Structure 1
C-alpha cells in the first residue's frame, strides 16, 4: 500500500473557497463518497476565529454553488459540528477513477486541504497525480509505502498510537512550547546544552514556572507513552 499526504488546492471545493474568504477551518469526522450520485456526504467540525467568523463561514458554505446540503448538528461559541453534502469534485473523481481511496480524515484551512490518499501500486499513483495536475494545485508532503507485514503492525497498534497522540494533545500551548524549546535547545542532552535559567530568560518567566511547565509536560507525555506500551503488551499477549 502507498500512502500519500497531499497538500491540495481544489478549484471547485466549497470548503476551500470558504476558507479563502473567511477565517474558518474544517476538519472531517466522517465521510461517505457516493460515486453513483457523484456526491460526498461529510460530518465536520467547523472552527471560526470568532463567533462572527463561524457564522460568516457557514453562510458562505451554504451559498456555494457546489453545496447541495449544509446543516448544523451542534454549535457552541466559535465551534460547530455540521453535516454536508457536496458535489463530487474533480480531484475526488480523479482519485477514485485511478484506483485511489481516502485513508484518513482531511483538514481544510487558508484555502488548502490536507488529504491522506492510498494506492495499491505505483502505476495507479502516477496516473492519478498526473491527472490531478490538470485541474488542481497540489504538493505531496509525505509518501510512505507499506508491505503486508508493516501494514498489519500499523493497524494492530493503532490504539496504542492513538493513546500517545491523545497524550501529546493534552499539553497546553505553554507546556508544549516549553517542552519543544527545551528539547530543541538541548536541555535533555548530556551534558545539557541549555539551563533552566536560560529557558526562563527565553520565555521571560521565572525558573520555577519553566520547571513546572516541563514537569507537567513530561508527566503527560510519559503517562501516554506508558499507556501505549501497556496496550502493545496486551495486544502481543492476545495474539500469542
Structure 2
C-alpha cells in the first residue's frame, strides 16, 4: 500500500521547463551573431561553477565560408572567450570547442537552483534556452533576477509530472529519430512542406491546390508534387521508425 508520505513525494516530482528567448549582454556567441551571419548550436556543454566557466562543443554554421571564418575570428577575440578551437570544418560549417567565462544569466540560473534541460541555439543576436526548475519559487526568483541584466521572453512553459518525465526519457531515442528525419529534408523540401501545410493542402477538403502552390513558388506543378512527395516520404519514414521504437519500449 502506498502511504501518505509516498503520495506526497510523487505529487511533488515535477519539473518546470521554460523555453526562453534570451539576449545576454556578456555572451561571446550572441555578440558574434550580432555582427556576422553565423549561427551556433550546442552539442555538449559543461558548467564549472568553481572556475566560473562554461565548456561547450558547438556546430557553427556561416551564411558563407567567409562568414564562418570571420565569425570564428571574432569569437576568439571576444574578451569573455577563454578558449576557442576547431575540431573539424567543411565549407561553411565547423565543429568547435570553446571555454567562456560564466555569464550573468548562467550564474543567476545556477545560483537559484535552475538547470539547462536542452541544447541552446544562438542566431541573430538572440539565444534559445531550455531551462528547468523544481519549484515555482526558484523559477520566480530566477526570472526576477534575470530581468536586471538581460533581455528575455518566456516563449513557452511546461510543468511535467513524474509520468510525463519518465515517458520523455524512455522515448528520447524515438524523439531523436523523428528529429533526424525532419532535419534530413532539404531547404526546398522543408519550405514546400511547410507552405502546403499552412495553406491547408492536407485538410479535408483541401484548402489549396498543387496549382496554387506552384504559383506561390513560381515552379511547375510537377516540381511541387515531387518536393512534397520527397518530404512526405522522409517524415513518414522517420515517424514510423519512432513508432516502432515506442512499441518496442512498451513491450519490455
Into which bin does the TM-score normalised by the smaller protein fall? over 0.9
SS at match of 1:37: coil
**Partners of 1:206 and 1:34 in 2: CA distance:** 55
SS at match of 1:29: strand
Deviation at 1:193, TM superposition (A): 2.0
Deviation at 1:198, TM superposition (A): 2.1
**Partners of 1:44 and 1:221 in 2: CA distance:** 26
> Could you tell me which residue of structure 2 aligns to residue 5 of structure 1?
19
**Partners of 1:165 and 1:134 in 2: CA distance:** 36
- Within a 5 Å distance, the mapping from 1:8-19 to structure 2 comes to 8-19=22-33
Q: TM-score, normalised by structure 1?
A: 0.95
For structure 2, the residue ranges without an aligned partner over 5 or more in a row are 1-14
Query: How big is each residue's C-alpha offset from its partner over 1:85-107, in whole Å with a ceiling of 9 and x where there is no partner?
Result: 11111100000000000111111
Query: How big is each residue's C-alpha offset from its partner over 1:176-213, in whole Å with a ceiling of 9 and x where there is no partner?
Result: 22222222222222222222222222222222222212
> Could you tell me which residue of structure 1 aligns to residue 174 of structure 2?
160
**Partners of 1:139 and 1:127 in 2: CA distance:** 15
> Could you tell me which residue of structure 1 aligns to residue 46 of structure 2?
32
Task: Give aligned pairs, total.
Answer: 238
Aligned: 1:207 with 2:214: no
Residue 81 of structure 1, aligned match among 71, 95, 107: 95
Q: TM-score, normalised by structure 2?
A: 0.91
What root-mean-square deviation, in Å, do the aligned CA atoms of Structure 1 and Structure 2 show?
1.2
Query: How big is each residue's C-alpha offset from its partner over 1:141-174, in whole Å with a ceiling of 9 and x where there is no partner?
Result: 1111100011101111111111111111111222
Deviation at 1:58, TM superposition (A): 1.3
- Within a 5 Å distance, the mapping from 1:28-177 to structure 2 comes to 28-177=42-191
